[in-house]
Structure 1
Amino acid sequence: MNGTQTGLLAGLILGLAATQGFTAFLVTLAVGVIGLVLGRVLDGELDLGDLFGRGRDK
């Protein structure tokens, strides 16, 4: 299991454990997406500098 899969699984499990009530699905989905992004960053498949933009060279 690579970092992306581990991050997604951990996010989903933590989301399920932390939620109770009506918004459980939405909170679990949000935490799962956060876990997925963190896993991709750890695997080197996603560069946060590309997402937020780097300083432009003048």
Structure 2
Amino acid sequence: MSRACLGLLVGMALGFAGWFGGFGAFLLVAALGAVGFLAGRAIEGRLDFGDVLDLRSRRR
């Protein structure tokens, strides 16, 4: 599936959540989508939470 198609599906899901459930449902769907995206990246091995946390400690 192309990224454009995936973006279309996510946009439609957020639109339906906003239309039928209101702004709270829109935010909930967006937050859960972000969590799912990060979990998927971590499972694929493209995201290492140790590196993300280490970057914060380097800035100080």
RMSD across aligned C-alpha pairs, in angstroms?
Answer: 3.2
Match for 2:47: what amino acid? L
Tell me the equivalent position of 1:26.
27
- Number of residue pairs matched? 42
Unpaired runs of at least 5, structure 1: none
Tell me the equivalent position of 1:47.
48
Moved over 4 A (4+): none
Unpaired runs of at least 5, structure 2: none
In terms of fraction of residues, the more helix-rich structure is 2
Query: So what's the TM-score if we normalise by structure 2?
Result: 0.53
* Per-residue deviation, 1:53: 1.0
Using the alignment, how far apart are the partners of 2:23 and 2:39 within structure 1?
26
Match for 1:41: what amino acid? A
Query: So what's the TM-score if we normalise by structure 1?
Result: 0.55
* Per-residue deviation, 1:44: 0.2
